[in-house]
């Protein structure tokens, strides 16, 4: 009886090993293919913290400034199709302070951008997604005394890691250009060649897949 049980166990183990090997061989091409092609269409919301720098010259009564550091945030929606092409809608806000000769005072500059984006991207690994994007929309600034709107453009690239089917984490680079009409006292306008602001950001935050 014991010999029969041992033979049955041995035959079962051999069959299990054979089935496991066949399943692995069958799944391997599919796994390679899934890493080379984008997954099916998905929708995502993102919320990012975006430290950045205004790279153009900014004039204040105390002098000229460039590459001034500020903090901001970004909210975005993205739809990416299986073909790799997609679209998005972005909103970003940033706050930058400039020194003043008055004790404890600062000149504050708030920049906003909102607009649609054209996106291309896809999976570069089992749980990794890379994208590049370009967009144009509406931009405005507010310095506490005046607010002005104008034309804005954006380009960027990023990579994200899908923790699961709902949550992910991503990082990326963005470059914004906001152009405004000239004004008589352009304290917060940049140099005369651009009549606006250029801002370069590094963003990091959460992704929520819908």
One-character DSSP codes across 130-179: EEEEEEEEEEEEE-SS-EEEEEEEEEEEEEEEESSSSEEEEEEEEEEEEE
List the one residue out of 174, 160, 171, 154 whose CA is nearest residue 209.
160
> pLDDT: is 188 or 113 the higher one?
113
Can you tell me the distance from the alpha carbon of 189 to that of 57, in angstroms, rounded to the nearest whole number? 8
Q: Radius of gyration over alpha carbons of the chain, in Å? A: 26
Three-class secondary structure of residue 125 per DSSP? coil
* pLDDT tens readout for residues 114-153: 999 999 998 888 889 999 999 999 999 888 777 888 999 9
Can you tell me the distance from the alpha carbon of 26 to that of 44, in angstroms, rounded to the nearest whole number? 32
Q: What is the mean pLDDT of the chain?
A: 80
pLDDT of 210 over the 70 cut: yes
* pLDDT tens readout for residues 155-173: 999 999 999 989 999 999 9
> pLDDT: is 59 or 26 the higher one?
59
Q: What is the pTM of this model?
A: 0.74
Can you tell me the distance from the alpha carbon of 205 to that of 57, in angstroms, rounded to the nearest whole number? 29
Q: Provide the pairing of β-strand 68-80 with 85-99.
A: antiparallel
Residue with tokens 């405004």, as numbered in its chain: 180
């Amino acid at each position: 009886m014991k010999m029969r049980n041992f033979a049955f166990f041995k035959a079962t183990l051999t069959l299990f090993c054979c089935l496991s090997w066949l399943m692995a061989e069958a799944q391997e091409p599919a796994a390679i293919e899934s890493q080379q092609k984008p997954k099916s269409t998905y929708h995502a919301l993102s919320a990012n913290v975006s430290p950045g720098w205004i790279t153009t010259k900014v004039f204040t009564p105390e002098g000229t400034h460039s590459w001034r550091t500020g903090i901001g945030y970004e909210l975005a929606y993205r739809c990416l199709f299986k073909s790799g092409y997609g679209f998005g809608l972005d909103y970003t806000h940033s706050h930058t302070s400039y020194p003043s000769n008055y004790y404890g005072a600062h000149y504050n500059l708030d920049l906003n951008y909102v607009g649609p984006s054209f996106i291309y991207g896809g999976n570069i690994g089992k749980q990794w997604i890379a994208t590049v994007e370009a967009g144009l929309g509406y931009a405005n600034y507010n310095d506490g005394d005046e607010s002005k709107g104008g034309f804005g453009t954006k380009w960027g690239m990023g990579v994200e890691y899908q923790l699961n089917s709902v949550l992910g984490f991503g990082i990326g680079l963005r470059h914004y250009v906001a152009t405004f009409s000239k004004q008589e006292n352009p304290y917060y306008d940049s140099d005369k060649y651009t009549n606006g602001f250029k801002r370069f950001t590094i963003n990091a935050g959460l992704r929520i897949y819908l």
